[in-house]
Amino acid sequence: MKQFLFLSLLFFNSICIKAQLVSLSEKDLFRGGNINLVKLVEENKKYKGSPYLKDKFEQTELVFRSNRKFQGLMRYHMGYQVFEFKNTAGERFKILPENQFKIIHQRIPFVREKLVLKNHPTLDGVFQLLYAGKNYRLLHYLKKELAQTRKEAIPAPATGTSEGLLPTWIDRSLFILMRGNEGVRVEKSHKKMMKLKFLETNAYKDYINNHKVKLNNAKMLVALVRYIDQNQP
């Protein structure tokens, strides 16, 4: 019996040790060969607005399949759908989320997937995983595009040029609701959402009226999807 308990404890401890994440240094990250880092050069900002989720570099975590992790300053470029990593020397590198590791930015995992949707063309890119329940997942497709303004340009007195002609970063982000391998784009109106029949109509109406749900609010959508997940018809 004592031998059995000893072996059980030894097995349990080996699992715990294996599950622990080992932190990588910045030097390890660059020489480890587990990630493709491409150095970025400073671009000429001839546009309006920002292509980033947040302009500021913030603490972000890379978690590899080998149970190793790296923490560093990063920000997400919504136009190119890549993370920018800034090293201790101030140099910037781009990182594309891949299957070999996951990125956790501001406590939210970012995943790379190809999603086939019923009410929208197929999306192949990077998504925030906002909710993962028993039957449903809620993902946020973070995307910005450069669009040329239609506003007629007014030449500046000194240069004769106009800022009115500069392209502008426009937010094209979408929320995606997945059940298994089937998904839909979250509609902009509750009337259209009810037609998707995720909940019985009266139950859906009661919930959105009681909670004043806005379909462009991530926290409200997470709560709604959790409710749908727990109250299937």
How would you write the pLDDT of the chain (233 residues) with one tens digit per residue?
433 333 333 333 333 333 455 565 656 665 554 565 666 655 667 888 999 999 999 999 988 877 788 889 999 999 989 899 998 888 898 887 666 678 899 899 998 889 999 999 999 989 999 999 999 999 999 999 988 766 544 555 554 445 557 889 999 999 999 998 889 999 999 999 999 888 999 999 999 999 999 999 999 999 999 999 998 76
* Same domain (yes/no): 174, 218: no
Handedness of CA 104, 50, 89, 98 (dihedral sign): positive
H helices of 96-217, in order, are 190-195, 201-211
* Same domain (yes/no): 156, 65: yes
What dihedral do alpha carbons 128, 130, 133, 137 form, nearest 10°? -50
* Same domain (yes/no): 191, 180: no
* Same domain (yes/no): 25, 124: yes
On the 0-12 / 13-18 / 19+ scale of CB atoms within 10 A, 59 is exposed
* Same domain (yes/no): 86, 169: yes
* Boundaries of domain holding 222: 187-233
pTM score of the predicted model: 0.77
* Same domain (yes/no): 195, 231: yes
Q: Is residue 11 part of a domain?
A: no
Q: Is residue 14 part of a domain?
A: no
Q: Is residue 145 part of a domain?
A: yes
Q: Is residue 82 part of a domain?
A: yes
Q: Is residue 85 part of a domain?
A: yes
Number of domains in the chain: 2
* Same domain (yes/no): 222, 180: no
Q: Is residue 155 part of a domain?
A: yes
On the 0-12 / 13-18 / 19+ scale of CB atoms within 10 A, 3 is exposed
Q: Is 201 left (phi over 0), alpha (psi -120 to 50) or beta?
A: alpha
Distance from C-alpha of 87 to C-alpha of 42, rounded to nearest angstrom: 15
* Same domain (yes/no): 229, 140: no
For residue 190, CA distances in Å to 22, 36, 97, 177 come to 46, 42, 33, 14
Residue 86 near residue 100, CB atoms below 8 Å: no
* Same domain (yes/no): 48, 125: yes
Distance from C-alpha of 91 to C-alpha of 199, rounded to nearest angstrom: 50
Nearest to 180 by CA among 134, 127, 111: 134
H helices of the chain, in order, are 2-19, 26-31, 190-195, 201-211, 218-230
